[in-house]
Amino acid sequence: MRRLIALCVLVAIAGCAPRAERPREGFLEVPGGRVWYRIVGSGKQTPLLLLHGGPGVPSYYMNPLAKLGDERPVVFYDQLGCGRSDRPADSTLWTIDHFVNELAEVRKQLGLAKVHLLGHSWGTILAAEYLRTHPSGVESVILASPANSIPRWIVDADSLLLTMPDSTQAVIAANERAGTTQSPAYQGAMMEFYHRYVSRSQPWGPDIDSTFAGMGQTVYLSMCGPSEFTITGSLKTYEGGDALAQIRVPTLFTIGRYDEVPLATAQYYQGLVPGAKLEIFENSAHLTMQDEPDRYVEVVREFLRSVEGANRR
């Protein structure tokens, strides 16, 4: 009997236990504190692990992807410092290396022996840097609205700002010179930009509202900056072309037509990853899974099915 129990434990760790036996929601201990996670769905296909953006922008906005739970477990987690996870005061935690190690720990503790990854925005940096460590069991990666070169992101953001009304540009410039980026005027101008290039949904739904309410401002300011178009944090000089070039699993890039990531930039990234595919969502901005949720889910579904079908051959 003892040997049978031990065998069942080993099978569960390997990711082969019945999905219903997995914990559905809770907290995991990682360096620096606890991270919240939730597992949706009990399908038998390989789990999909979601890596949200930011850094510090929690996973609420990725909720439409829960629909994939009819075929596979979909694993959400809020990275340390935002959302429902702990928010430690230790600023030395806000590094790429920390979040890569955190991702590895999440996989280990949830027993995700095999997994697909979907990273969005900052999550594409996290995914690529994690893959650089050569983890086993990653069957594919989806890089949504990729941010894998922050110098390039800055150039693209500057170009998009020029499409905003002159009055909006003036408010942004004046407040950035004065260091008053928390002022109502700057925040209002920022939201104008966000409604054009972050999400075009009108009005924003509860997922996006919860995302902004749950932001980890300390993490975001430390690694990114005061806004999507003003990068002053530790990621400012990040260049991830080498990490992309090392990816050797099936890869799908996705962007919105009105994304903060222009088509030319997405095509540049696509060219760095052998065999990568690119899907464009014509009615979306940066939060494609919010702007076109049904189509986004189906594109992801078909990509994962194609990978798993190829693996069976």
CB of 150 within 8 A of CB of 236?
yes
Calculated CA dihedral for residues 270, 272, 274, 276, nearest 10 degrees: -10
- The percent of residues above 90 in pLDDT, for the chain, comes to 88
Could you tell me the pTM of the whole model? 0.91
Say which of 156, 207, 259, 291 is annotated catalytic: 259
Is 134 an active-site residue?
Answer: no
pLDDT interval class at 313 (50, 70, 90): low
- Catalytic residue, chosen from 121, 201, 222, 284, is 121
Note if 120 is an active site residue.
no
Fold of 18-312: Rossmann fold (3.40.50)
Report in angstroms the alpha-carbon separations of 134 from 7, 97, 137, 243: 28, 14, 9, 11
8 A C-beta contact, residue 69 and residue 43: yes
pLDDT over 70 percentage in the chain = 92
Query: Tens digits of per-residue pLDDT, 207-254?
Result: 999 999 999 999 999 999 999 989 999 999 999 999 999 999 999 999
Are 129 and 103 a contacting pair, CB within 8 Å?
Answer: no
**Four-residue CA torsion sign, 119, 120, 126, 132:** positive
Distance between CA atoms of residues 187 and 172, nearest Å:
9
Among 236, 151, 145, 148, CA closest to 197: 145
Answer whether residue 21 shows pLDDT above 70.
no
Q: Is 284 a catalytic residue?
A: no
Q: Would you list the domain boundaries of the chain?
A: 18-312
